[in-house]
Homo-oligomer: A and B are copies of this chain.
Amino acid sequence: MVTQARAFTTRALIVKGAAIAFERYGYDGASLNDVVEAAGTTKGALYFHFKTKEALAREVIVEQERQSHAAVEAIEESGSAALEQIVMVCHEMARQILEDPIVRAGVRITLELSITDGPHHPYETWIAGCARLAARAIDEGDLREDVDAGALAHFIVSAFAGVQLFSQFETRRTDLSRRVDEMLQVLLTGLVPPRRRARLDKILAAHQAPQTQT
């Protein structure tokens, strides 16, 4: 049992090391030596758990998806109004990218692999979650009735991906939280019925993330 627990920890260290190496050098650029170095483990341990760089990349992507799924589930179980949960989803996407090297690596290598290897979508779980929330927010009267929930969800998550890319270009993501606030403000103000605007402002203010602004 002790050995199993240790193997489990080593495996997690290796996956995190792979994420750090993929984020830094990209999928093609990262070598197994980079992974071993970032993980602080041995090449023997690496080969025991993963036979190829591809297997490592797959694991990083699976782990990223697991985290999206857990976050969407937790937000949907929070009991808040659906409109507020949409705001929470956007800030949570930003938080994961800012704080978790596995998420950053997942976004980068999915992008790289999709360019050469056909589509795999890193944001699928977020889009499906947002679509459920948008449909509920319409039922709850917090989004206009003529909003297309599926189209809105797809657009919110696409737009977030662009916003995070620009934030990376422009400020190495130091302004990401502020840009997410800006996006929610620009986008949601017009989609919320006038009588619910004050409520939206309160929700946006409650979820602003001053600690990560610069």
List the interface of chain A (C-beta within 8 A of B). 26, 28-29, 108, 111-112, 114-116, 119-121, 123, 144, 146-148, 151-152, 154-155, 157-163, 165-166, 168-170, 172, 179, 182-183, 185-187, 189-191
Contact = CB atoms under 8 A, between A and B. Distances in A.
A189 B186 contact: no
A115 B26 contact: yes
A185 B166 CA distance: 22
- In the A-B complex, the 3 residue pairs with the smallest Cβ-Cβ separation, listed nearest first, are A190-B190, A162-B162, A159-B159
Contacts of A185: 151
Contacts of A115: 26, 108, 168
Contacts of A119: 169-170, 172
A121 B182 CA distance: 20
Nearest to A150: B182
Given A119-B169, A161-B162, 11 more contacts: A115-B168, A120-B169, A121-B166, A144-B190, A154-B179, A157-B162, A158-B179, A159-B159, A159-B162, A189-B191, A190-B190
A158 B165 contact: yes
A125 to B, nearest CB: 14
Of listed A157, A166, A179, A191, residue having the most chain B CB within 10 A: A166
Given A26-B115, A186-B152, A166 B158 contact: yes
